[in-house]
Amino acid sequence: MRILVVNPNTSVTMTADMAAAAARYANPDTEIIGVTPPWGPPGIEGYFEGFLSAVAVMEAVTTYPEPFDAVVMAGYGEPGREGVRELLDVPVMDITEASALLAVTLGHRFSVVTTIVRAVPMIEEILLITGIADRCASIRATGLGVLELEQDEQLTRRRLAEEARIAIDEDGAEVIVLGCGGLGGFDKELEAAVGVPVIDGIVAAVKMAEACHAYGVSTSKVSSYARPNRKAITGFPQSARSRDGVAAGTAPTVGA
């Protein structure tokens, strides 16, 4: 199967990292395609940028030129999943949701360790809507911005471990979820450091997408996520204007 792993921001480096993270534990016959939105912010750190990303991601998946079997939305805490579900017939997995859903099978409570404080309410709201907020022990911020995460890996590693440790010791977390799509590479190392399962949402989402694909189930089209009615929409997709030049989604192929 072919899964589009869609970065919420325009950083192609991060797209490549996300695709690599996604490919690590994918099934052998799963093809991972990293997709970068054609426009938007280079990193998502708030609601405004999150909403931009939601639309840019919708544009990236609907203008993607080839067939695919599932979408993984690789922004942790970003909005938009419901819109993408409306637009597509294939399963759409969001890493915030998928990681939380997997986490509750592994421990009594989980904590999210994320980037900056202002991301916390965005994450809270998704967990609330997902209906799984009661199993979340805490959402802890490292204080590191999305773009800082990769600049000083040593610092990132240390801050993740510090906050995870507090989550376990004081908040009662038994599982740690990495609260940013760009933190995938740190999971196993952090797991070794703190002694509880650590979940990278991209892996969780890929595995759940594979599960749906194998089972032959996809988004329900009976009501909430039914296809939008035909309408004369302007301004979307933006990339239509550049259809003669740059491709809509820059898509480094990774994996099998």
Restricting to residues 124-153, name those near a second copy by CB under 8 A: 125, 128-135, 145
CB nearer to a second copy: give 106 or 154: 106
- Residue 175 engages a second copy in binding (rule: CB under 8 A): yes
CB closer to a second copy, 33 vs 44: 44
- The region that residue 255 occupies, defined by phi over 0 for left and psi between -120 and 50 for alpha, beta otherwise, is left
- The structure tokens 């906050």 sit at 163
Q: Which is nearer to a second copy, 154 or 232 (CB)?
A: 232
Q: Which residue number, 183 or 199, has a Cβ lying nearer to a second copy? A: 199
Paired sense of beta strands 70-73 and 2-6, if any: parallel
Neighbour count for residue 145 (Cβ, 10 Å): 14
**Does residue 73 contact residue 57 with C-beta atoms inside 8 Å?**
yes
CA–CA dist 127, 62 (Å, integer): 26
Among 19, 190, 196, 248, the residue binding a second copy under the rule CB under 8 A is 196
Instruction: For residues 30 and 38, give the distance between their C-alpha atoms in angstroms, rounded to a whole number.
Output: 24
For position 232 contacting a second copy by CB under 8 A, the verdict is yes
> Of the two residues 156 and 239, which places its CB atom closer to a second copy in the complex?
239
Among 2, 16, 25, 31, binds a second copy (CB under 8 A): 25
Q: Which of 2, 47, 68, 150 binds a second copy (CB under 8 A)?
A: 47
Token pair for 175 = 């599982």
Distance of alpha carbon 118 from the chain centroid = 18
Near a second copy in 205-224, by CB under 8 A: 207-208, 210-212, 214-220, 222-224
Contact 199, 176 (CB under 8 A): yes
Contact predicate 208/26, CB 8 Å: no
Expressed in angstroms, the distance from the first to the final Cα of the chain is 10
- Closest approach, Cβ 153 to a second copy, in A, equals 21
Q: Which of 203, 248, 251, 254 binds a second copy (CB under 8 A)?
A: 203
Binders of a second copy among residues 52 to 81 (CB under 8 A) are 52, 54-56, 58, 79-80
Question: Between residues 41 and 255, which has the closer beta carbon with respect to a second copy?
Answer: 41
Q: Determine if 163 is a binding residue for a second copy (CB under 8 A).
A: no
